[in-house]
Chain A
Amino acid sequence: MQTAKSVVFEGVAKRFGAVTAVDRVDIDVKPGQFVTLLGPSGCGKSTTLNMIAGLEQPSEGRILIGGRDVTGLPPSERDIAMVFQSYALYPHLSVFENIAFPLRARRRRTAKPELRERVTQVTAALGLDALLGRLPREISGGQRQRVALGRAMVRTPNVYLLDEPLSNLDQQLRVQMRSELKDIHQRLGATMIYVTHDQGEAMTLSDKIVVMSGGRVEQLGSPRELYDRPANVFVARFLGEPGMNLFEGRVDDGALRAAGVAIAADRVGAGRSGGLIAGIRPEDLVEAAPDKAPIAGTVRTIEFLGSRMLLRIDVGAAIVTAFMPLGARFAPRQPVGLAPASPDRVRWFDAGSGKALN
């Protein structure tokens, strides 16, 4: 049976010479959780994953798997399974042998009948039965992806590590594999740590998301928390498709004011003299009469999205995005007024630190 383990980072840092890739990170992954490390490329998420795997050694801090300090241990002694972005299938081994490979390692050597049974169990679950004798180069990208998953699933590891496993698939397959992954996670009840730069994947899959940037954890929480209450402007902009609209300005007469913008800021803005940023998600903007709307601009482009449409609107020098119902009529270069759907849908940030205020 699966024995899901916890993973704990205690002040883990990784430096390459003068460059700090990961800067004193604390993360706590509960047994059975699906946790995603999310961030743009170079944010340190892959280095973090590699340190859990033991492929890289932290310069500082310690890593615990299931309460055991594994910081100095080589990958082979951590009992983890990993799916690589390139799948890293052994090119000279058949699908069967690729999946059986972990079971042939000395420390885990499995008797033949049991090995066969476990491999076929996994291949049956992944629909790879017809391909057992094929070499990796003889199967499709999606099938390779499944083989890589199968190689991880064939044993009962403490933790599954997945490094952008879907990024080499085409759009349709990616969405399909995404739900299959979620299904597998629920079936196995295993701890999974997933690395991606795709916020859509992170949102749909995770119990918990760790947003990283510049080697630091920007925010850590459930997808819902992160989406609704981003801790800072980085997270606000990074999550959501498109990201949160940010209006920077100064509070004057109870409102945040900038070119074409006057958003009521009574509750937060009272007594603040410094710069302020108001964040509003595109779906939280509604149309208002152009002459007295809090946000006034001109329509730049209109994108039809099926169930609704996405407007890009020039407001001052900035571009604001807003979802509008299909019924509404807009034309390019037409003046348009916008307002927050309700005052509590506005998220306030300090302009200096970028940190959330409410």
Chain B
Amino acid sequence: MSGCWAAEGNDAVKIAARILTALAALAAAIVAIGPIAWAVSTSLKRNNEIFLVPPSLIPTTVTFDHYARLFHEGVHWNFLNSALYTFAAVSSAVVLGTLAGYAFVRFEFRAKSAMLLLFMASMAIPGYALLLPTQVLFVQIGLFNTPVALPILYAAHIVPFAVWMTRAHFASVPIELEHAAAVDGYTRFEAAWRVVLPGAKPALIAASAFGFLYAWNDYITSTTMIDSPDMRTLPVALIFFQGFHGRDWGALMAGAVIATLPPVVLFLCFRRYLIGGFSEGSVKG
């Protein structure tokens, strides 16, 4: 009988703990996405409603005026700049990183471990501390304020990460797979292309997605390396817009939504690979 009571008491505690955990999770989720919802809401409200007290999350009348104003300012060109820089950086970095990652696993060559250490160390050193010397250097060699400046810098930041991710993957691919392909009549290159690379899809996606988030979301590199308005990225354009129209919160939030949509959609699509990539990386060390 007393055992019965104990079990019931235990159950009650368990249920209470569950409810508490669920409530805390809900609160955390609201804190995480509430501000973003608020930005979306602001961007869709008419100006007189934006400053209304008390505020409401759902706009009484939905308007796309703020977005239209941004397009009038040419925000789509900045969007395109961001997209091009990001694409160029991510694609070249992932290709270079994958080649190197494969070489680190399957080939022996001089100073291999030193090179690997260099990649890993440069992943830890954040680009920001080196941005000023880079700027002065780029001015001297004529890369400052050119369309290739940002792709190069972004790619250099993504490459070590791509090496890290792909190397970890390739190391987990048994050499027998390539041996089997060789016996089946394929050259080494064909074997790598047809047998090893398809399996590396998760690592390639994770490296690309991480690279995209980094390059697309950057502000500091872009604002220090690009001067001309027609080459500006979206985040920089947004801050300039803020400088001119500081109180136009509807348009600013519309800009924030435009800048946030691609990375968030990409993250939601590839979250499995990104989370998996970081989890594995940390567990494997």
Contact = CB atoms under 8 A, between A and B. Distances in A.
Decide if A and B touch, CB cutoff 8 A.
yes
Interface of A: 50, 53-55, 74-76, 79-82, 84-86, 88, 90-92, 101-102, 105-108, 151, 161
A140 to B, nearest CB: 19
A74 B189 CA distance: 13
Contact of A76 (B174, B177, B182): B182
B171 to A, nearest CB: 15
A92 B199 CA distance: 6
A75 B179 contact: yes
Contact of A82 (B177, B179, B195, B199): B179
Contact of A91 (B181, B183, B190, B199): B199
Contact of B185 (A55, A85, A88, A107): A107
A106 B199 CA distance: 21
A78 to B, nearest CB: 8
A317 to B, nearest CB: 44
Contacts of A90: 177, 180-181, 195, 198
Contacts of B190: 105-106
B187 interface: yes
Interface residues of B, number: 17
Given A90-B195, A92-B198, A84 B179 contact: yes
Contacts of B174: 86, 88
B180 A76 contact: no
20 contacts: A50-B179, A53-B179, A53-B182, A53-B183, A54-B182, A76-B187, A79-B185, A82-B180, A84-B179, A84-B180, A85-B176, A86-B174, A88-B177, A88-B180, A91-B199, A92-B199, A101-B184, A105-B185, A105-B186, A161-B183
A75 B191 CA distance: 12
B229 to A, nearest CB: 46
Given A55-B179, A88-B174, A88-B180, A76 B186 contact: yes
A91 B174 CA distance: 11
A50 B175 CA distance: 13
Contact of A84 (B176, B187, B199): B176
B182 A75 contact: yes
Contacts of B201: 92
B117 to A, nearest CB: 25
A80 B183 contact: yes
B154 to A, nearest CB: 30
Contact of A74 (B182, B184, B195, B199): B182
B199 A88 contact: no
A75 B198 CA distance: 22
A106 B183 contact: no
A106 B182 contact: no
B179 to A, nearest CB: 5
A86 B183 contact: no
A142 B199 CA distance: 23
Contacts of A74: 182, 187
Contacts of B198: 90, 92
Contacts of A102: 184-185
A88 B179 contact: yes
Given A90-B195, A91-B199, A92-B199, A105 B184 contact: yes
Nearest to B200: A92
A320 B199 CA distance: 53
Q: Which 4 A-B pairs have the closest CB atoms?
A: A105-B185, A88-B176, A88-B180, A75-B182
Nearest to B173: A91
B184 A151 contact: yes
Max chain B Cβ within 10 angstroms of own Cβ: one of A50, A75, A108, A151: A75
Interface string B212-235: 000000000000000000000000
Contacts of A76: 182-187
Given A88-B177, A92-B198, A105-B184, 15 more contacts: A55-B182, A75-B182, A76-B182, A76-B184, A76-B186, A79-B185, A86-B174, A90-B181, A90-B195, A90-B198, A91-B199, A101-B184, A105-B186, A107-B185, A108-B185
A81 B190 CA distance: 18
Given A91-B199, A92-B198, A92-B199, A86 B176 contact: yes
A17 to B, nearest CB: 12
Nearest to A85: B176
Contacts of A50: 179
A157 B81 CA distance: 56
Nearest to B191: A76
Nearest to A163: B176
A147 to B, nearest CB: 11
Contacts of B195: 90
Contact of A106 (B176, B179, B185): B185
B5 to A, nearest CB: 49
